[in-house]
Amino acid sequence: MPAFTSGLLVLAPNLTRLRVALTAALCAGLAVTIGAATGHANTGLIASTGSLAALYATDGTARREAVGVATAAAALSVSLAAGTLATGPWSAVAVTTAWTAVVAYGCAALAPRPPGAMMFILLCTLGTVLPGTSLTSVLATAATGATAAALTAAGQRRSRPSTTTPMLTDTLRARLTRARWSLNPKASPLVVMAARSALAVALAGSAAVTVGAERPYWAMAATAAVLGRGNQAATALLRAVQRLTGTLAGCLVAGLLLLAHPRDLVAALVLAALTLGTELFVARNYALAMVFVTPMALLLTDAAGPALPVGPLLASRAGETLLGCAAAVAVSQVVTRRWAVRHHRRALQAVLRFTAQEPSGAPSPREAQERAGRLAGAVHRLETVATRTAAERRGIRAATEELRILSDRALAQARTLLNGPGPLQGDASTRQDALSLPACSEPESRPV
């Protein structure tokens, strides 16, 4: 069954994230309610976006979850503040493009849970159209995010404490190795991948401004959302179809809600419900999640100002989403086979080199930990590269097929070494692979 079709059939919510979803919904509703009660409804609506920080809660201890949500809250506030630097349509495109490059690289390196870079770019695009009281809105958004972090920590303390023992793949040495690799543009593909996302956002924004779109930031936000889980060709195409399908369905829901023109407490309840639905489905059925996200975005646009005609508003949302999806799919093709093969082969060589090393005598515990950390970092690098090349266009997948087969065997061997009781020591076939692999030839870089 095609991935798109099977994805649409997943209709069960992710109940394991119910606590996180309820936290996000509560914070969103609270922000809107306080804003309405104090006579600052617009600020409350914008501040409700700080509740999105709760979506980045990881599974772990209370401290780890709170730190993760607090970090996301700070990043969301900074994203909103970055968008306020824009002074016009073209500067909005420039600011959003630059911020996309930063957060796309950061999220690719740190690998946060869904929705990844999407929400940070969304807040930046929102900041480009923020009204005059921008500082108040940024501070209110940060306060909402801080509330989400506090509620996350409190809820986790009441839950059963984690008894999971960290594996060797999560040692400090492994994290440092991953960080050094991620920051090296010659060894890591992450820099180029982040630049590709930024190029797509720039293309969408420039096209929207050029054609005179009423809200160019919607096109840029759509592009960022499509590329938020990976800007490879196959991934981008699948996400673009799901995004567009979900947006069209969401416009129908939004049309019904906008006719009621909810305000104050009703708006708070509606936004809380939409936030809850977004979190429960965003990781399982992206198209269905867009049915919740689209009304949320349109209600924020509608409630932050005077009533707007529903028909043109929905048409604008659909049209700019289509433009953003098209830009994302077009730029996802910008990669050569030579580049993909080179990065895949180097990542495979690193794993084979570490698994082929024979320890001289019995290594000390510290030496064994250091070797395990280096190997874990190499495994992370190969997993990242292999996953990305497997989702590129057909010509690149064919060019890296032999490397993929070798990678599967090398990763299995490396995981056995990392999780085994004895010292790290590869077998003869692994050492032979490490010696013979550099002789592989690279394909031509002509496009497919």
Contacts 24+ apart (CB under 8 A), 392-399: 392/232, 392/233, 392/234, 392/335, 392/340, 393/233, 393/234, 393/333, 393/335, 393/448, 394/448, 395/337, 395/447, 395/448, 396/233, 396/335, 396/337, 396/340, 396/448, 399/337, 399/340, 399/341, 399/443
* CA gap 242, 346 in Å, rounded: 34
Amino acid 318: pLDDT: 92
- The residue among 189, 191, 228, 197 whose CA lies nearest residue 385 is 189
Amino acid 113: pLDDT: 72
Amino acid 257: pLDDT: 87
Amino acid 59: pLDDT: 66
The secondary structure of residue 263, as a DSSP letter, is -
Amino acid 281: pLDDT: 81
Q: What does each C-alpha distance from 338 to 154, 233, 335, 446 come to in angstroms? A: 50, 16, 9, 8
Written as one letter, the residue type at 317 is: R
- The residue among 219, 205, 204, 198 whose CA lies nearest residue 88 is 205
pLDDT per residue as tens digits for the range 169-228: 455 556 666 667 676 766 677 888 888 899 999 999 999 999 998 889 899 999 988 887
Helix (H, G, I), strand (E, B), or coil: what is residue 427? coil
Query: For the whole model, what pTM was predicted?
Result: 0.80
Written as one letter, the residue type at 46 is: I
pLDDT per residue as tens digits for the range 245-261: 999 999 999 998 888 87
* CA gap 120, 351 in Å, rounded: 33
* CA gap 277, 23 in Å, rounded: 12
User: Within 10 Å of residue 162's Cβ, how many Cβ atoms?
Assistant: 13
User: Within 10 Å of residue 180's Cβ, how many Cβ atoms?
Assistant: 12
* CA gap 323, 243 in Å, rounded: 12
Q: What does each C-alpha distance from 260 to 250, 266, 276, 307, 388 come to in angstroms? A: 16, 10, 21, 11, 44
Angle between helices 134-157 and 118-127 (to 10 degrees): 150
- The residue among 287, 240, 253, 227 whose CA lies nearest residue 5 is 287
The answer to whether 144 and 50 are in contact (CB under 8 A) is: yes
Extended strands (E) in 263-422: none
Q: What does each C-alpha distance from 231 to 108, 122, 192, 200, 201 come to in angstroms? A: 11, 17, 11, 9, 11
Average pLDDT for consecutive 10-residue bins of the chain (448 residues)?
A: 50 70 90 88 87 81 79 93 91 94 85 79 88 80 92 66 44 62 71 88 95 89 85 88 91 88 81 86 80 85 64 90 94 88 89 74 69 80 86 89 91 82 49 43 39
Helix (H, G, I), strand (E, B), or coil: what is residue 133? coil
* CA gap 288, 295 in Å, rounded: 12
* CA gap 320, 214 in Å, rounded: 9
Q: What does each C-alpha distance from 188 to 182, 231, 282, 396 come to in angstroms? A: 5, 15, 28, 17
Amino acid 105: pLDDT: 86
Kindly state the tokens that stand for 36.
Answer: 């309405």
